[in-house]
Chain A
Amino acid sequence: MRSVLSIFVFFCIVTSEVQNFSLSDINFALGPINAEKLKFPNKLQKPLEVSQAERLKIKFSVESETLKEKLNPQQVFLSLEAEKKNSHGKLTLVFQREEKKKGDYSLIIDLKSKNFVEALEGEAGNYLATIFISEPNYSPLSYSLGTFIFKFGEVPNINRPASESEEFRYKEEIRHIFKPPVKVPFRLISLIFAVLCVLPWVILFALWSSLAVNFNNLYATKEMVLYGTGFMISMGGWVALYIAYFWSVTLFPALACASVLSVFSLFFGNRVLVSKVQFSKLKTQKVD
Chain B
Amino acid sequence: MNSIYFLLYFVLAFTSSTSLSSSGSRLLVVVDDLKADKVTYSKFFNLLEKRKYSTTFATATDKSVSLISYDERNFDHLVLLTQTTRDLSEELTVASVLNFVNKGGNVLVTASSTVSETIRDFSFEFSIDFDDRLTLVKDPFHTAKENDIFSIYSDNFRGNKIIYTTKEKDSRELKPIAFKGLAHRLTNKNPLCSPVLLAMPSAYSFASADQGEIPENSPFLGQKIALVTSLQARNNARLIFSGSAAMFSDEFLDLPNYDNLQFVDEISKWVFQEKAVLRVKNAKHHRAHETQQHGIYRIKDMMEYSLDIQEFYNGKWNPFQGQDVQFEAKMLDPYIRRTLKPTPEGKFIVHFKLPDVYGVFTFKVEYNRHGYSWILSESNVQVRPYRHNDYDRFLSSAWPYYTSVFSLMAGFLVVASIWLFNEEKTVKK
Contact = CB atoms under 8 A, between A and B. Distances in A.
Q: Are A and B subunits of one complex? A: yes
Interface of A: 72-77, 79, 81, 86, 90-94, 96-97, 130, 132, 134, 136, 140, 142, 159, 161-163, 165, 167-168, 170-176, 178-179, 184-185, 187, 190-191, 193-198, 200-201, 204, 208, 212-218, 220, 224, 228, 231-232, 235-236, 238-239, 242-243, 246, 250, 272, 276
Contacts of A246: 402
Given A173-B338, A235-B416, A168 B191 contact: yes
B370 interface: yes
B177 interface: no
Given A175-B336, A190-B400, 10 more contacts: A77-B201, A77-B204, A90-B222, A136-B211, A161-B186, A163-B194, A173-B339, A196-B400, A197-B404, A235-B416
A218 B422 CA distance: 8
Contact of A218 (B338, B400, B421): B421
A75 B140 contact: yes
B193 A142 contact: no
A250 B393 CA distance: 12
A9 to B, nearest CB: 25
Contacts, number: 179
Best-buried of B201, B389, B395 by chain A (most CB within 10 Å): B201
25 contacts: A75-B140, A77-B201, A79-B201, A86-B159, A90-B201, A94-B216, A96-B216, A132-B201, A136-B211, A162-B191, A162-B193, A165-B191, A168-B191, A168-B368, A173-B337, A175-B336, A184-B395, A193-B400, A195-B403, A196-B400, A213-B418, A214-B422, A239-B409, A242-B406, A276-B420
Contact of B222 (A72, A77, A136, A185): A77
Contacts of A91: 222-223
Interface in B388-415: 389, 395-400, 402-407, 409-413
B300 A178 contact: yes
A72 B422 contact: no
Contacts of B398: 190
B356 interface: yes
A217 B423 contact: yes
Interface residues of B, number: 70
A181 B337 CA distance: 23
A94 B218 contact: yes
Nearest to B370: A168
Contacts of B369: 168
| Interface class of chain B by DSSP | mixed
Nearest 9 CB-CB pairings of A with B: A92-B222, A216-B423, A79-B201, A134-B140, A193-B400, A174-B337, A140-B140, A162-B191, A194-B399
B355 interface: yes
A92 B421 contact: no
A93 to B, nearest CB: 8
B65 to A, nearest CB: 33
Given A96-B216, A162-B193, A172 B201 contact: no
Contacts of A185: 396-397
A239 B413 CA distance: 9
A283 B205 CA distance: 127
Contact of A163 (B191, B213, B216, B300): B191
